[in-house]
Amino acid sequence: MILRRNLLRGIPDYRSFQKIKPLKKGWSGDKKYTLQTADGHRLLLRTVAFSEYESKKAEFGLMQSMAAQGIPMQRPLDFGICSRGKSVYTLLTWIDGTDAGALLPRMSAAGQVALGIKAGQLLQKIHSVPAPRAQEDWGERFYRKTRTCVDAYRANPACRHESGEQIIFFLEDNRQYLDGRAQAFLQGDFNKTNLIVSPDGETISVIDFNVVDLPYGDPYWAFDFMAWDTEAPAHFYTGLARGYFGGSNPRGGEPPQDFFDALRYYIAYDIMKVLSDQNIKRRGQYMNHVERWLVDIQAPYPAWYLPKEASP
C-alpha cells in the first residue's frame, strides 16, 4: 500500500482513495488501477512514464472534446504529474457493465446483430466529429506508411513470402481506394473488449482511447481491427457495419462498395506490416492472419461480414 501511495502522490485528494487495485486488462503500456473514493465512487487511474507527458496531455484534451460531444464513454476527470515527478496520470470515471467480448458468446445470433447495430451507431457518432482542416491528405499520409512497410520488407531477405510481391502490386495498383477520403476523429481501438454494455443492456460505452499516434484519419480504417480478431464474431461485426451505415434505422443499412474496397487496401497493408516485421517471434505469431487476409482480399466480403441473405 505504501508503494501505491507513493505512486498516487501529486494527485489531488489522493489520501482519500480507498481499495486501490491493479487492473491487468488491455494491450496498452499504461499501468491501470481501480480506485474507490471516500463516498463510494469507483474511478480508473492510468499512469505512464513522465517521458510521455506531452502525448498523454494531447490525448486527455481529445478525450475532453469527445466527452463534450455527448459520446457515451469514460469521462476524463483530471490529468497531471504524480509519483514525485516520475509518472503522468489520467483519472477517469468508471463505467459499470460487461465488455461486449464477454457477452457475445452467451448471445444468440440475432442478439449479436442487434448489439452490433448499437455499437455501429456509437462509432458513427464518434466519427461525426471532423478532423481539423489543416490535416494532410489521407491518401498521401497512409501511402507513406505503406511505403515504409514495403521498403522494410524488400530490405530484409528473411521476410520474403510467396505472396509478398503480389501484395505490393495490389497496394501500388489500388491507391485510388484512398483518394478523397474525408477524415474524422479516431478512437483508436474500437474492439469488442473496449465496448462496455450497461447492466440493463440498453447502453454501450467506449473505453480505452488510444489516439496519440493518429487521432484523425479515414473513418473506414477504424474497422481494420476486425481483421485482427482471431474469434471474429461475424454476426456482431455485421451488425456493427450495418449500424454504422444505417443511421437511426433499427435494422441498419448495407455498407457501400467503397467501404469494402478501402478495407481490402487496409488488409493488404496489414499483410505487408506483418511480413516486414523484424521481430521474428511477433511475425510468426501473426502469420496465420496473413493466410486469412489473402482470402479476404479476393472475396466479395471480408470473413467477418455476412451478406444480407446469410444473416438473421
- Burial letters for 242-256: b for 16+ Cβ neighbours within 10 Å, e otherwise? bbbebeeeeebeebe
| Domain co-membership, 130 together with 31 | no
Please say whether the beta carbons of 135 and 183 come within 8 A.
yes
| Domain co-membership, 295 together with 158 | yes
What whole-number percentage of the chain has pLDDT above 90?
A: 53
Counting the structural domains of the chain, the total is 2
Estimate to the nearest angstrom the gap between the alpha carbon of 55 and the chain centroid.
17
Range with the poorest average pLDDT among 12-26, 196-210, 229-243? 12-26
Give 1's pLDDT tier (boundaries 50, 70, 90): very low
Residue that finishes a domain, picked among 45, 69, 93: 93
| Domain co-membership, 102 together with 212 | yes
| Domain co-membership, 225 together with 134 | yes
What is the rounded distance in angstroms from the CA atom of residue 203 to the CA atom of residue 196?
A: 8
Q: Answer whether residue 33 shows pLDDT above 60.
A: yes
The domain in which residue 70 lies consists of 2-93
CATH number, residue 69: 3.30.200.20
Please say whether the beta carbons of 152 and 278 come within 8 A.
yes
| Domain co-membership, 236 together with 283 | yes
| Domain co-membership, 280 together with 166 | yes
CATH number, residue 218: 3.90.1200.10
| Domain co-membership, 38 together with 64 | yes
Residue that finishes a domain, picked among 93, 124, 155: 93
Model pTM?
0.87
Candidate ranges 151-155, 210-214, 250-254; pick with highest mean pLDDT: 151-155
- The pair phi, psi for residue 90, each rounded to 5°, is -130, 130
| Domain co-membership, 85 together with 222 | no
What is the rounded distance in angstroms from the CA atom of residue 95 to the CA atom of residue 67?
A: 14
